[in-house]
Amino acid sequence: MKVAKFGGSSLASADQIKKVSDIITADQDRKFVVVSAPGKRNDEDTKVTDLLIELGETFLKEKKAEEPLQKVVERYRDIAKGLGLDEDIVQTIEDDLKSRLAFDPTDRDRFMDQIKASGEDNNAKIIARYLQSIGIVADYIHPQDAGLFVSNTPGNAQVLDEAYDHLYKLRDKNGILIIPGFFGFSKENQLVTFPRGGSDITGSIVAAGVKAELYENFTDVDSVFAANPTVVDDPCAIKRMTFREMRELSYAGFGVFHDEALIPAFKSNIPVCVKNTNNPGASGTMIINEREYALNPVIGIAADKGFSTIYVRKYLMNREVGFGRKLLSIIEDEGISYEHIPSGIDDTSVILENDQLTPEKEEKIIHRIINELGADDAYFEKDFAMIMLVGEGMHETVGIAARATKALSEKEVNIEMINQGSSEVSLSFGIHDEDVDKAIRGLYEEFFSTKEVLQ
């Protein structure tokens, strides 16, 4: 029994949905199908989720939104027409959108959750209807009816343990079950969404709940690559990798999965296969708990921009008990999490994500560090990026850091910070945003100089 999740690019048009239906029906083990909202049909197109955000924000601002509403309805009408479906499914979707716009707009986060979740929900309805129209036994399953219960935290839902027992009961249903991704329901019967990209999280949760033998994640590439193919020409494909490697790479900016997406599958020891909707015969990338190590200790390189550093200097800082705790408490008071804390004897740095900061928060943090901690100096530095080498084999290999720093030096990339993860699965470097692409190329040339498929 398999769970197959299809991303937005796989479901962007009627032609793509026909490909998906062929994939679903080609394997009788594909009983559970999790779907995203329709994505872009071409580079100039707009994702349905972005159209829905425009719809919700326009309504909150103007108390009406007929034009953005019709943009969404027309996307679904175009899909339904291409699939040969009657207009009544389009009317069902329009009525659903109007009912969501009638939700209480005073709680902005919950209102937007309602609007955004309609992308996946209505796409699931269309896909189920299409499968039925071509003679396939298929049903749309609403997450609330499936018992997909989550925490009551809008935009950041976490699955509740009891959801898995409810989902297991879906095994008893006949036919193919089409489940919308991205959202669940709280115990208070309120719709709550996962972080954006959360359809992958739904797929992983469903796979764990129904105890699937395999979770297939269909996207628009043949496999996961060792580096960003928009930066490195024709990078190596990764044939097999571990959950830890995938999570580290996702955290560091790999675009394949949200960094939380695979945790339910990982905990249930369910393998994940990344496959291409447009080339389903390709073997894809298997993500598993453990793997044999290839000769190359590094399996992938990822980078993410958008970081700032708080630099703090105080003479004999290392002798002052509790200094680090007090510093992090100041940051915590502003509702900010940190990424890394490289330290010296008289100075330390705290690396943060830019999107958590505002000029007011920055000013307040620096003021408190100077006045409460007695720092000799404290200031923010901007425009940093984190670049990460990942590989289970790194901890058994001498000289990885030396090779990496040499490669960066040869590309004239200045290293601001180095951090070795305690698990030794990752090695990260802080560099300036402007150096990211040449840093990726330099590291790729160093660790993947011979073209091969990674095992």
Binding residue numbers for ATP = 5-8, 219-220
The H or E element containing residue 183 is strand 183-185
Name the binding residues for substrate.
49, 120
- Joined together, the tokens standing for residue 318 give 């290392």
Please report which residue ranges of 102-188 form alpha helices under DSSP H.
108-133, 143-146, 162-168
d(CA 350, CA 419): 12
Structure tokens at 149: 């219960």
Q: Is 80 within 8 Å of 70 (Cβ atoms)?
A: no
For residue 235, give both structure tokens: 């990078």
Residues 5 and 215 sit within 8 Å (Cβ to Cβ): yes
| Beta-sheet pairing, 214-219 with 191-193 | unpaired
Nearest C-alpha neighbor of 30 from the set 246, 255, 277: 277
How many Å apart are CA 107 and CA 334, to the nearest integer? Answer: 22
* Half-sphere CA count of 397, side-chain side, radius 13 A: 21
Whole-number Å distance between alpha carbons of 446 and 418: 18
Closest by CA to 436, choosing from 301, 340, 315, is 301
Nearest Cα to Cα of residue 13 among 39, 33, 32: 39
Half-sphere CA count of 290, side-chain side, radius 13 A: 0
- Containing 442, the helix (H) or strand (E) segment is helix 436-447
Q: How far apart are CA 317 and CA 125, in angstroms?
A: 60
